[in-house]
Amino acid sequence: MTFKALALAATILAAVATPAAAQTKEHVFKVGIGLNDDHPQALAVKHFAEQLAAKSGGKLVARLYASGALGNDVTMTSALRGGTLEMTVPDSSTLMSLIKPFGVLNLPLTFNNEQEADAVLDGPFGQKLLAKLPEKGLVGLGFWENGFRHVTNSRRPITKADDLAGLKLRVIQSPLFLDTFNALGANATPMPFTELYSAMEQAAVDGQENPPATILSSKFYEVQKHLVLSRHMYSAWVLLISKKAWDGLSAQEQKIMQEAAREATLFERKTIRAFGDKALGELRKAGMQVTELPPAEQARMRAKLQPVLAKYGKEFGEETTGELNAELAKVRGTAK
């Protein structure tokens, strides 16, 4: 067989072996995030990009823009809706201004552990939430884990629920977060994440609340002394693509995106949980004093938050809240 014939045979075999790649056009997706490029969220975006390239023969390209280079969660989500940015991974709480039912995911003290969250978000309840996004110019490719949120501050250790009183704490720009911490006696201050480090450094705020992975990756230990494992909320991210960008893809390209997103979702959860386990040890080494709220103080926190739970359970939709609680009861029943 001649060299030309061999080359032709190889080309035919490659086309047969990777029909998806052969049917795929070239697309470049800018993916903006607010966190640093060494955070598990960024590592998961890079994994998503690798999967996308592998499944598309290099034709579908995802480029990461970290550290708020393209804006914060709110502005980047807005850019997706306007079609000027392709992808981002915001906290689910930033979507509640567009679609109120998303807010139920952040209701305080709702999830007991990560496995419950996985089951609910990957199941019918989570998929029903994602199905509401296209009408707002967004398409959801999956839920990623941010994790259980904890409080840090520069003033004093927190050993009981009442110790939060009087602390000026930065929170996500969301009424639920504001009301939650105001109900606990803190002075809740909404602020974009990209402004947080300098605000703590300059003592404009006393502290903030985030999972350990974010506290470590963002080097908050440099400007914060105390960390309490309050587990007051579970926080999820949503892997989003602009509907305009999505609609520009063929059915085959959309399938590749979904497959890459699913693999990236599993990678992200595994990575952030491993990182979070190590983060507490690293934060202690860095000089942070870590305390844990006893069960009795968790119960006191829950009692203080009853008015908030009642208010937002109604605001986010009593039907949606009921569906979430029913799904949780089912998951907990199965786990026994």
Q: In CATH, what number is assigned to the domain containing residue 65?
A: 3.40.190.170
Strand, coil or helix: what is 31? strand
pLDDT of the residue at 15: 42
Q: What are phi and psi of 240, to 5 degrees?
A: -115, 145
> DSSP alpha helices (H): ranges in the chain?
3-17, 19-22, 40-56, 73-82, 114-122, 124-130, 175-183, 196-201, 212-217, 243-247, 251-285, 295-304, 306-315, 318-335
Q: Which residues pair with 169 in a beta bridge?
A: 188, 207
pLDDT of the residue at 22: 65
Residue 2 lies in a domain: no
Provide the residue range defining the domain that includes 178.
14-99+110-335
pLDDT of the residue at 142: 98
Radius of gyration of the chain (CA): 22
Strand 226-242 relative to strand 87-88, pairing? antiparallel
pLDDT of the residue at 177: 93
- Max CA separation in the chain (angstroms): 83
> DSSP alpha helices (H): ranges in 34-185?
40-56, 73-82, 114-122, 124-130, 175-183
Neighbours of 205 (CB within 10 A): 21
d(C-alpha 140, C-alpha 99), whole Å: 13
Of the candidates 108, 117, 145, the residue with the CA atom closest to the CA atom of residue 275: 145
Residue 1 lies in a domain: no
Beta-carbon contacts of 330 under 8 Å, excluding residues fewer than 6 positions away, are none
Residue 76 lies in a domain: yes
Beta-carbon contacts of 76 under 8 Å, excluding residues fewer than 6 positions away, are 32, 34, 70, 85, 88, 90
Q: Is the pTM value of this prediction over 0.75?
A: yes
pLDDT of the residue at 166: 98
**Spans in the chain with pLDDT lower than 50:** 1, 3-17
Beta-carbon contacts of 214 under 8 Å, excluding residues fewer than 6 positions away, are 35, 39, 146, 220
Calculate helix-pair angle for 175-183, 306-315, nearest 10 degrees. 160
Residue 182 lies in a domain: yes
Of the chain, the percentage scoring pLDDT greater than 70 comes to 93
Residue 52 lies in a domain: yes
d(C-alpha 251, C-alpha 255), whole Å: 6
Residue 227 lies in a domain: yes
Strand 138-153 relative to strand 226-242, pairing? antiparallel
Report how many domains make up the chain.
1
d(C-alpha 253, C-alpha 55), whole Å: 10
Residue 328 to residues 60, 118, 152, 332, 333, Cα–Cα distance (Å): 37, 11, 29, 6, 8
What is the DSSP-derived secondary structure letter of residue 323?
A: H
d(C-alpha 201, C-alpha 203), whole Å: 5
Residue 7 lies in a domain: no
Residue 257 to residues 51, 149, 246, 267, Cα–Cα distance (Å): 9, 30, 9, 15
Q: What are phi and psi of 145, to 5 degrees?
A: -95, 130
62 within 8 A of 31, measured Cβ to Cβ:
yes
Residue 141 lies in a domain: yes
pLDDT of the residue at 302: 95
Of the candidates 323, 299, 304, 303, the residue with the CA atom closest to the CA atom of residue 313: 323
